A and B are shown apart, each in its own frame.
Chain A
Amino acid sequence: MMGFIWFWLVAVMIVGYVVLDGFDLGVGVLHLFLVRTEAERKTALRSIGPVWDGNEVWLLAGGGTLYFAFPLLYASAFSGFYLPLMIVLWLLVLRGVSLELRNHIEVGVWRALLDGVFGFSSTLLTIFFGAALANVLRGVPLQADGYFFLPLWTNWQPGVHPGILDWYTVIGGVVALVALTLHGALWLVIKTSGNLEARARGIVTPLWIALVVLTVISLIATIAVRPEALYNYFNYPGTFIVPVGVVAALGALWYFNHNARPVKAFLSSCVYLFLMLAGACWSLFPTLLPATTGADRDITLSRALSGPHALAVGLVWWTVGMALAITYIVFVYGKFRGKVDGAEDAH
C-alpha cells in the first residue's frame, strides 16, 4: 500500500514539474524564433520571471522525494544516466543564468547571446526530458546488482544494449519538444498582448496538428518497443479512460483555442501533459525501471521501496509541506495574474 501511495506521489511531483516548468521551457523555445523585438523579449521573460524558479523546485523536490522513497531507483538511474544527466545539469545552469541575468546587461550583443543561450538550453532540455522518459519506458540494461551505465548512443536501436538515444527515445524527445512549445505558446497567449499574443495564437494550430500526429506515433512506437506496456490496461480495462482522456484533452485544446478561451486552452494542455505522464506511469506500474536484460532484473516497486517507518513518517510531512507549498504557489500566481503590463518595472 505504501508502495502504491509513494509511486503516485513521486508521479505527482513529476507531473507538477512538467506542467509548471513546461510552460517556461516552452517560452524558452519560442524565444528563439517567435519573440522578436526587445520589448517582446522583456514581456515574454517577465511573464515567467516571478515563477520559473519556483517551477523548477518541483524537479528538486521530486528528486529528493525519489531519493527518500525509492533509494535504489534513485541510485541506479542517476548513476546509470550519468552522462545525459550531467548535460542536463549544465543546461539548467546555463538556462537559469541567461534567463535571469540578461536584463542586468545593457549591451545588445551580449543580450542577444544570452537570449540565444536561454532559447537553446530550453530547447535541448525539453528534448532530453522527453528522451529520459522514453528511456525509462524502453528499459535499460540492468546488471544483477541493480546498476547499469548507458552510453549516449549505440546503434540507435532499442535492443538489449541500447544507448540513451535511439530512434524510439528520439521520438520521445520530439514529442516533449512540441508538447512543451505548444504549452509555452498557450501561456504567452494568456500573458501577453498585441503582436506577440497574435503570433503566439497563430502558432498554436500548426503545433497542435504536429502534436496530434506525434502523440499517435509515440503510442504506436511504445507498444512496438514494449508490448508489456498494455498489460495493465487490458487487466484493468477501465483505465483505458486515460488514453481516451488524452484524446479529449487534445480536442478541448483545439476547441478552446478556436473560441478564444486561452486559459481553458492552457488548462487543456495541462490535462494532456498530466494524462500522458499518468498513462506512462500506469503502463510501468509496479515496475519502476524495466530491464532490457530480462524481466527478473527489473527494478520493481517492492525492490526499491524505502523502509516502512521512513515512508510512514514521510507521508505526514510530505502532506503538510505540499499543502503549504500549494498555498504559496496559488498566492503567487494570483498576485501575478493577468497580462504582463509593459510599463511595469520589476527588480
Chain B
Amino acid sequence: MYPEISMNAELIHRLHFAFTVTFHYLFPQLTMGLALLIVVLKSIALKTGEEQWERAARFWGKIFGINFVFGVVTGIPMEFEFGTNWARFSNLSGGVIGQPLAMEGVFSFFLESAFLGLFLYGEKRLSKLQHWFSAVMVFVGSWISGFFIIVTDAWMQHPVAYERLPNGQFQVLSFWQLLLNPWGLLQYMHNMTGAVVTGSFVMSAVGAFYLLDGRNQNYGRIFLKVGLIAGLISSVLIIFPTGDLHGKYVARNQPAAIAAMEGLFKTEDGAGLVLMGQPNEETGQIDNPIVVNDMLSFLIYGTTKAEVTGLDRIPKDQWPTALPLLYYAYHIMAGLGTWFLALMAGCAFLLWRKRLYAARWALWALLISFPLPYIANTAGWMTAELGRQPWLIYGLMRTSEGFSSTVSAGNGLFTLLGFMGLYSLLGLLFTVLIYREISQGPETNASTTSH
C-alpha cells in the first residue's frame, strides 16, 4: 500500500469515529442529566402527592423518551466501529477493554431498556411507588452505562492492570484495578457532572421559554427552580473539585497533553496561565497572549514557583497532533465553564430574592445559553481524546497502528458521508419532535397525544 494512501485512511477512520461519537454524545449527556432530574421530580411528586409534579415528570419523560431513542440508534454504531474501523486495535485490546464494553451491555443496557419500557409504557400498570422505582432504575442504568464507557476510555488514556501476551495482545490482570483506574474515577465524576449541567440548562431554558412566552407559567417556574438549583450545584462541581482534580491528574500523567492544552511551549518555573491567544506551532509560541503570571504552576502544583513541563521537553513525534484544535477545545470548555457558574450563581441569587420570574433579561440569558453545555461537553471530550494523540493506547500503541488496514480510505469516506447524511436527517427530526413536545407543554393529556 502506498504511504500517502494509508495516511489518508488513518485520517478518515479517525474522522469516522470522531464524527459518529460526537453526534452520539449529544444525546446521552441529556439522557444522563435528565434521568437524575426526573428522579427529583418523581420524588417530589411521590412525597407531596401533587399532580403538577407528576405532570412535570411526565412531560420530561416524553422528552427523555425521544432523546433516548436517538441515543440508542446512534450508539449502536459505536459498538460496531471498534471492529469495523479499528480492527487492529480491537484485536490487541479486546482482552482488556472488550470487558467493560461487554459489561455495559450486560449490566446497563438490559436494566435501562427494561425499566424505560416500564417507565414510559407502564404508568397505568404500576403503582406510584413502582413507577418511581422505574425512574430510579433508568437513572441507575444510564449512569452505569456512562461508567463502563469511561472505564474503557480511561484505559486508553492511562493503561493499568494489563500484561502483554506473546501474540502481542493485551490481557487484563486485575479486574478491580481496571474498573477503579484512578483516571477513570476522576473522568467519570467530571463527565457525569457535565451531563447534569446539560440537563439542568435544558430544563431551565424550557422554563425560561414558558415564562417569556407567557404560557404554562406554573410549570415554567417549577422547571426554573429545579433546573437552577441543579445547575448551580453542577456548575460548581464541574470546576471544583472534579475539573481541578482531573486536570492535575492529566498534568502528572500526560505532560504533553497538558502542555498543548495550555499552550505551554517552553518549560518554566512559575508557568503562566494563558487565557487567550493563538498557538503558533511554527514559532513555538502563543501569538497575542493574555497571561496570568504563575497561575498554571499554582493550579497544577499548588505553588506559584513549581516547574511545568513545556512542549520543548517532549520529542516532536509525541506532540499531540492537531495541537491548535486541542488548545482551542480546552479553552472553550474552560471559558464556558466559567460562564456557567456566573450565570447560574446570578440567576439562583435572583431566584432566592424572588426577582427571577420578572427579570426578562435573565430569562433570556438562560434561554439562549442552553446550547452551551453541549459545546462544552463536546469540547471537553475533544480535549481528552486529542490530548491522548498520537497514541491510541497512551504510550503503548500509536493511532497509526490501530485502524483497519483492509478498509480503504475510499470505503471509509463513503460510509462517513453516509453517516453525515443520515445524521443530518436525524438532527432535523429530533428538532421537530422536541419543538412539538415543548409547544404542547406539560398541560396536555398524555393519552390524546401519544401512543
- Give A contacts to B, CB under 8 Å: 42, 45-46, 49-51, 53-54, 56-57, 59-65, 67-72, 74-80, 82-83, 85-86, 89-90, 92-94, 96-97, 100-101, 103-105, 146-149, 306-310, 313-314, 317-318, 321-322, 324-325, 328-329, 331-332, 335-336, 344-347
| 9 closest A-B pairs by CB | A71-B94, A78-B83, A68-B98, A307-B171, A61-B105, A64-B102, A50-B117, A321-B106, A325-B110
Residues from chain A with Cβ under 8 Å of B437 in the complex: 104
Contact A67 B101 (CB under 8 A): yes
A-chain residues with CB within 8 Å of residue B121 when the two chains form the complex = 46, 49-50, 336, 346-347
Note all chain B residues with C-beta closer than 8 A to A67.
82-83, 90, 94, 98, 101-102
Query: B104–A332 contact, CB under 8 A?
Result: no
A79-B169 Cα distance, complex, nearest whole Å = 18
Chain B residues whose CB sits within 8 angstroms of the CB of A49 once the complex forms: 117, 121, 451
- B415 part of interface (Cβ distance < 8 Å): yes
* CB–CB A147/B69 < 8 A: no
Rounded to whole Å, the gap between the CB of B9 and the closest CB of chain A is 12
A79 and B110 within 8 A (CB): no
Among the stretches B60-68, B202-210, B279-287, B297-305, the one at the interface with A is: B60-68
When C-beta atoms are compared, the residue in chain B nearest to A328 turns out to be B114
* Residue contact A50 to B118, C-beta cutoff 8 Å: yes
Which of B's residues lie within 8 Å of A, judged by CB?
A: 61-62, 65-66, 69-70, 72-74, 76-77, 79-80, 82-85, 87-88, 90-96, 98-99, 101-107, 109-111, 113-118, 120-122, 124-126, 163, 165, 169-173, 175, 404-407, 411, 415, 418-419, 422, 426, 429, 433, 436-437, 446-447, 450-451
Give the complex CA separation of A74 and B89 in angstroms. 11
| A90-B99 contact, Cβ under 8 Å, with A75-B90, A325-B111, A347-B65 | no
Closest CB-CB distance, A331 to chain B, in whole Å?
7
B69 engages A96 (CB within 8 Å): yes
Whether A306 lies near B95 (C-beta < 8 A) is yes
Does the CB pair A310–B95 fall under 8 Å?
yes
Contacts of B70 in A (CB 8 A): 97
Q: Are B94 and A68 in contact, CB atoms less than 8 angstroms apart? A: yes
Measured CB to CB, the closest approach of chain B to A128, in angstroms, equals 13
* Alpha-carbon separation in the docked complex, A101 to B433 (Å): 8
Residue from the set B66, B90, B105 with the largest chain A CB neighbour count within 10 Å: B105
Are the C-beta atoms of B106 and A347 separated by less than 8 Å?
A: no
Q: How far is the CB of B47 from chain A (nearest CB, A)?
A: 23
Q: Are A93 and B422 in contact (CB under 8 A)?
A: yes
**Chain A residues near B101 (CB-CB < 8 A):** 64, 67-68
- Tell me which residues across on chain A come within 8 A of B111, comparing CB atoms: 324-325, 328
The reply to whether B104 and A80 contact each other, CB–CB distance below 8 Å, is no
How many Å from the CB of A183 to the closest CB on chain B? 20
Are A75 and B88 within 8 A (Cβ)?
Answer: yes
Chain B interface, >50% SS class: helix
Neighbouring B residues of A336 by C-beta, 8 Å: 117, 121-122, 125
A100 to B121, CA, bound (A): 12
Known: A68-B95, A82-B415. 9 other contacts (CB 8 A): A56-B72, A80-B406, A96-B72, A103-B451, A306-B95, A306-B169, A309-B171, A322-B106, A336-B122
| Inter-chain contacts of A60 with B (CB < 8 A) | 76, 79, 105, 109
Residue among B99, B170, B419 with max Cβ neighbours from chain A (10 Å): B99
Other-chain contact of B74, A75, A79, A93, A104 (Cβ < 8 Å): A93
B94 proximity list for chain A (CB < 8 A): 67-72, 74-75, 306
Flag if B98 contacts A71 (CB, 8 Å): yes
Contacts of A64 in B (CB 8 A): 79, 98, 101-106
Residues of chain A within 8 A (CB-CB) of B65 are: 100, 347
User: Which chain A residues border B118 with CB–CB below 8 Å?
Assistant: 50, 332, 335
Chain B residue at minimum C-beta to C-beta distance from A80: B406
Task: For the complex, give the distance between the alpha carbons of A208 and B116 in Å.
Answer: 35
Q: How far is B107's CA from A69's CA once the two chains are assembled, in angstroms? A: 17
Report chain B residues within 8 Å CB of A53: 72, 113, 116-117
Residue contact A309 to B173, C-beta cutoff 8 Å: yes
Give the distance to chain B from A24, nearest Cβ to Cβ, in Å. Answer: 12
- Chain B residue contacts of A335, Cβ below 8 A: 118, 122, 125-126
Which residue in chain A gives the minimum CB-CB distance to B96?
A: A310
Query: Whole-angstrom distance between the alpha carbons of A308 and B173 in the complex?
Result: 10
Please report the C-alpha to C-alpha distance between residue A85 and residue B82 in the assembled complex, in whole angstroms: 12
Q: Is the CB of A332 within 8 A of B406?
A: no
* Chain B residues with CB under 8 A of A57: 105, 109-110, 113
Give the CA-CA distance A94 to B101 in the complex, in Å: 24
Q: What are some 17 contacts across the A-B interface (CB < 8 A)? A: A57-B113, A60-B105, A61-B109, A62-B105, A64-B79, A69-B98, A78-B87, A82-B84, A97-B69, A97-B429, A147-B404, A147-B405, A310-B99, A310-B171, A317-B107, A328-B110, A336-B121
A93-B106 contact, Cβ under 8 Å, with A54-B113, A75-B88? no
B77 touches A82 (CB 8 A): no
Contacts of A74 in B (CB 8 A): 82-83, 90-91, 94, 98
Separation in Å of the A27 CB from the closest CB of chain B?
15
Instruction: Please give, as numbers and ranges, the residues of chain A lying within 8 Å of B426 by CB-CB distance.
Output: 93, 97
Q: Which residue of B lies closest to A317 (CB)?
A: B103
Q: Judge whether A97 and B73 touch: CB under 8 Å.
A: yes
The answer for the CA separation of A242 and B270 in the assembled complex, in Å, is 74
Is A89 within 8 A of B69, CB to CB? no
Compute how far the CA of A51 lies from the CA of B114 in the bound complex, rounded to whole angstroms.
Answer: 7
Q: In the complex where A64-B104, A93-B73 touch, is A307 in contact with B169 (Cβ < 8 A)?
A: yes
**Docked CA distance A103–B62 (Å):** 12
Q: Which residues of the other chain, B, contact A62 by a CB distance below 8 angstroms?
A: 105
- A53, B404: Cα distance in complex, Å: 30
Partner of B117, one of A54, A80, A103, A314: A54
User: A64-B98, A307-B95, A313-B99 are contacts. A82–B110 as well, Cβ < 8 Å?
Assistant: no
Alpha-carbon distance between A50 and B450 when the two chains are bound, in angstroms: 14
Question: Which chain B residue lies CB-closest to A331?
Answer: B114
Q: How far is the CA of A344 from the CA of B122 in the complex (A)?
A: 10
Q: Is the CB of B91 within 8 A of A75?
A: yes
Q: A63-B79, A67-B83, A147-B405 are contacts. A54–B418 as well, Cβ < 8 Å?
A: no
